Chains A and B, each alone.
Chain A
Amino acid sequence: MSVDANFTTNRGTLHLDVALQVQNGETLALLGPNGAGKSTLLRVLAGLHEIETGHVRLDEEPVDAGPNGVFVPPEERGVGVVFQEHLLFPHLRVLDNIAFGLTSRGVKKKLARTVAQTWLERLGMIKYGNATPTELSGGQAQRIALARALATTPKLLLLDEPLAAADASARVELRRTLRSQIQAFQGSCVLVAHDIGDALALADRIAVLEEGRIVQVGTMDQLGNKPASRYVADLIGLNCFRGTCSGNVLTVKNGKTVIVGTKHDGEVIATVHPRAVALFRERPAGSPRNVFRAPILSTERALGCIRVQLGGDLPIIAEVTESAVKDLDLDGRGEVWAAIKATEFRVAPT
């Protein structure tokens, strides 16, 4: 099912103003700080929250056209939802939780249970059909919630932080299950991701929400190449500076200037990948245009590299290899020389 949403609405203090398209069969991840409106966006698509202006269309059919227009209630939208806290019905056994959506749509109880049974098998939960939801762990409950949503064969699947309820040890396994189920799922999928890792693992594209607006939509590469905000840059681990450019001289907030490889004028966001920040014990000779001395604040082991947080005038993160750390004796803290080539800065006007 394709999704075409272009609307505004309010919920509490949040003002949501969103334009969003999801293609048939595509999976879109929503990322953003708390309170940015991710859950409310899902609620609008599910029909649990009404819009104030604009439209929401599923497969070209309007399902919400504002206060004076069409409104298709959630039970008629064919949209499956997995809620953050699974919300399994506590008085029904696991099997009947999965069968609930089918019996609600008029399927006979016996047949609904047979179908529910196949979903238990598919998710490796065959032993738990007669359990009550309170007997399940967070990860297991979320699997059943996924089965419950998928059993109704929705055309659009919405998942609100599906990994939040699982504890750390179960998360990897649950993410794998989600990944395979989403891939097997025929319809479109919109999910609220907790972090960039979940978004990358599960989705084709990422939409970043901040304060009720979508600041950027795209693939991971598109976001990384030109992050639209500080938040997006932080999200994908880039160093990000907001400042004013005059020619190829960028002045960041605290007055520090750096030389960038392209010419701009006015307010810009500049990003530089941590790998592009080189560290030296002695002042390096040669071509780099930006060389400065900075104190090491901390070092952190990341996947296949060490991330070094530098302080000083230009707080920045450098990624170096383990052997480089040994050569530079970085564990001893102190100060180092940092060098960044001007061409490594990506500058985009805001």
Chain B
Amino acid sequence: MPAVFAAILFLLPLIGLLAATPWTDLATLITDRATLDALLLSLECSLAAACLCVVLGLPLATWLAHGNDSLRSWVRVLITLPMVLPPIVGGLALLLAFGKNGVIGGSLDRWFGIVVPFTWAGVVLATTYVAMPFFVLTVEGGLRAFDPRYSEAAATLGANPWRSFRSITLPMIAPSLRAGLLVAWARALGEFGATITFAGSFQGRTRTMPLAIHHALESQPAAAIALSLILLVVSAVVLFLLRRQWFPIR
């Protein structure tokens, strides 16, 4: 019985959303310039954040998995923080670091002319900040479960550490790589609090789907529902397409 309740708990909001959807106006709402901007921006930024997670997160996860010293446990606490903090706090902290009067934001602006907050890059940075911990911790788990004797076998066969990592370790931890990437991407797609605080809500520049929904909810609730439906469909399609490769049922 509790299982049924649990399933219903996830089903009911979906039904509510579908029931309230203004199906007749849907076409106009969806083809609206602002909607398309938001959708495109969301996909771009969440994918960019996912890429950053791999590029920066994989080396970090590898380092974390190769030892048990106190430095590593402190770093782990540091990167777990964004998972626990309300994203809005994270956004505020980013602003205090990268803002015009921030710790390094001022120098970046003065010396390089780089301004991160309230830009496209700001959205990517904010979503990466929130999403990367999920990737790093998932992949670290995978690496720790990996039997290092396979790397030793590869070494005796003449593979240098880099080749061993690339051709043996990575393929063997592929399930946790995929899971980490999916969770991080999903987290980036839905990111709201850190983004709105750090990057603001400018249509076409920083207003991603969740921000657009929040924006529409105040002026035209029907549009907010339509936007939500789009986000729902996009997420569902991605999950459906990836179900075999990412969550193989055995």
Residues of the A chain whose Cβ atoms lie less than 8 Å from the Cβ of B243? none
Q: How far is the CB of A12 from chain B (nearest CB, A)?
A: 16
- Cβ–Cβ contact A83 & B149, under 8 A: yes
- Cβ–Cβ contact B172 & A74, under 8 A: no
- Cβ–Cβ contact B158 & A75, under 8 A: yes
Q: How far is the CB of A50 from chain B (nearest CB, A)?
A: 13
Question: How many A-B contacts are there with CB distance less than 8 Å?
Answer: 59
CB < 8 Å: which of A47, A48, A91, A148 contacts B157? Answer: A148
7 sampled A-B residue pairs with Cβ under 8 A? A48-B156, A74-B152, A87-B152, A89-B168, A91-B174, A101-B157, A104-B163
| CA distance in complex: A148, B168 (Å) | 15
| CA distance in complex: A87, B156 (Å) | 12
A315 interface residue per 8 A CB criterion? no
Q: How far is the CB of A202 from chain B (nearest CB, A)?
A: 20
| CA distance in complex: A77, B160 (Å) | 12
- Cβ–Cβ contact A75 & B155, under 8 A: yes
Residues of the B chain whose Cβ atoms lie less than 8 Å from the Cβ of A81? 153, 156
B51 interface residue per 8 A CB criterion? no
- Cβ–Cβ contact A100 & B157, under 8 A: yes
A67 interface residue per 8 A CB criterion? no
B30 interface residue per 8 A CB criterion? no
Q: How far is the CB of A78 from chain B (nearest CB, A)?
A: 8
Residue interface mask A19-50, B partner, CB < 8 A = 1: 00000000000000000000000000011100
- Cβ–Cβ contact A75 & B160, under 8 A: yes
Residues of the A chain whose Cβ atoms lie less than 8 Å from the Cβ of B158? 75-76, 101, 104-105, 152
Residues of the B chain whose Cβ atoms lie less than 8 Å from the Cβ of A46? 152, 156
Q: How far is the CB of A241 from chain B (nearest CB, A)?
A: 42
Residues of the B chain whose Cβ atoms lie less than 8 Å from the Cβ of A90? 172
Interface residues of A (CB under 8 A from B): 46-48, 73-77, 79-81, 83, 85, 87, 89-91, 100-101, 104-105, 148-149, 152
B179 interface residue per 8 A CB criterion? no
**Which of A73, A77, A83, A100 has the largest number of chain B CB atoms within 10 A?**
A100
**Which of A73, A104, A149 has the largest number of chain B CB atoms within 10 A?**
A104
Residues of the B chain whose Cβ atoms lie less than 8 Å from the Cβ of A73? 155
Q: Which 7 A/B pairs are nearest by Cβ-Cβ distance?
A: A101-B157, A104-B158, A74-B155, A104-B159, A81-B156, A87-B153, A91-B171
Residues of the B chain whose Cβ atoms lie less than 8 Å from the Cβ of A148? 157
Residues of the B chain whose Cβ atoms lie less than 8 Å from the Cβ of A75? 155-160
8 A Cβ contacts from B151-191 to A: 152-160, 163, 167-168, 171-172, 174
- Cβ–Cβ contact A79 & B156, under 8 A: yes
| CA distance in complex: A154, B168 (Å) | 21
- Cβ–Cβ contact A152 & B157, under 8 A: yes
In the complex, the chain B residue whose C-beta lies closest to that of A73 is B155
Q: How far is the CB of A79 from chain B (nearest CB, A)?
A: 6
In the complex, the chain B residue whose C-beta lies closest to that of A80 is B156
- Cβ–Cβ contact A87 & B155, under 8 A: no
Residues of the A chain whose Cβ atoms lie less than 8 Å from the Cβ of B167? 100
- Cβ–Cβ contact B157 & A87, under 8 A: no
Residues of the A chain whose Cβ atoms lie less than 8 Å from the Cβ of B156? 46-48, 74-75, 77, 79-81, 149
Residues of the A chain whose Cβ atoms lie less than 8 Å from the Cβ of B168? 89
| CA distance in complex: A306, B214 (Å) | 90
In the complex, the chain A residue whose C-beta lies closest to that of B153 is A87
Q: How far is the CB of A322 from chain B (nearest CB, A)?
A: 48
- Cβ–Cβ contact B172 & A91, under 8 A: yes
Residues of the A chain whose Cβ atoms lie less than 8 Å from the Cβ of B159? 75, 100-101, 104
Residues of the B chain whose Cβ atoms lie less than 8 Å from the Cβ of A47? 155-156
| CA distance in complex: A149, B158 (Å) | 10
In the complex, the chain A residue whose C-beta lies closest to that of B156 is A81
In the complex, the chain B residue whose C-beta lies closest to that of A158 is B156
| CA distance in complex: A74, B159 (Å) | 9
Q: How far is the CB of B143 from chain A (nearest CB, A)?
A: 15
Residues of the A chain whose Cβ atoms lie less than 8 Å from the Cβ of B174? 91
